[in-house]
Amino acid sequence: MSWDPVFRLVQRIPRGRVLTYGALAKALRLPGGARSAGRAMAATPSGKGIPWHRVVGEHGKILIREPYASLQRRLLESEGITIIESRADLKRHLWKPSKKSPPKYRTPKKRIQR
DNA sequence: CATCTGACGACCG
DNA sequence: GCGGTCGCCAGAT
């Protein structure tokens, strides 16, 4: 599975903005919904400039575990996003994948048979 | 091939 | 608002 479309979209999230796994999944029509978005992020290659920390759970909650949670919080705050009780203020920072036909994820029609 | 394991979220009590 | 269950499905073991 190529999570490329996911990475591309995440890469477009502006500084100081966040997106939720659910919104991400919905925007790309990921099969399996939000969890798929989560899997994609878990597979995020580091060192590629992908702002993974801008993806949070519903209500802006940071869902990942330590030690990443602390790191994510720190990164978000450094961008001017206020985190209260492990949550980002979505009202102010939720980002919408505006215009430009968001790359739509497509399920492979069929899998390679063994 | 069988099972387990989640960077989720909706639902219910 | 909080904790438990369930559907979902790709990777890991």
* Cα-Cα-Cα-Cα dihedral sign, residues A56, A58, A59, A65: negative
pLDDT category of residue A86 using cuts at 50, 70 and 90? confident
Q: How many domains does chain A have?
A: 1
Assigned domain for A71 exists? yes
* Within A 50-89, residues with CB less than 7 Å from strand C: none
Domain residues for the domain of A36 are 4-93
A106 part of a folded domain: no
Distance of CA A31 to the CA centre of its chain: 15
Spatial distance between the Cα atoms of A78 and A24, rounded to a whole number of angstroms:
23
Nucleic acid strand C within 7 Å of A106 CB: no
CATH number at residue A43: 1.10.10.10
Query: A62 lies in a domain?
Result: yes
- Spanning CA of A86 to C1' of C1, the rounded length in angstroms is 15
Which nucleotide's C1' is closest to A42 (Cα)? B7
Q: Does any domain span residue A87?
A: yes
More confident residue, A7 or A85: A7
Domain for residue A114, yes or no? no
Residue A106 — very low, low, confident or very high, per pLDDT cuts 50/70/90? low
pLDDT average, residue stretch A5-30: 94
Supply the mean pLDDT for chain A. Answer: 86
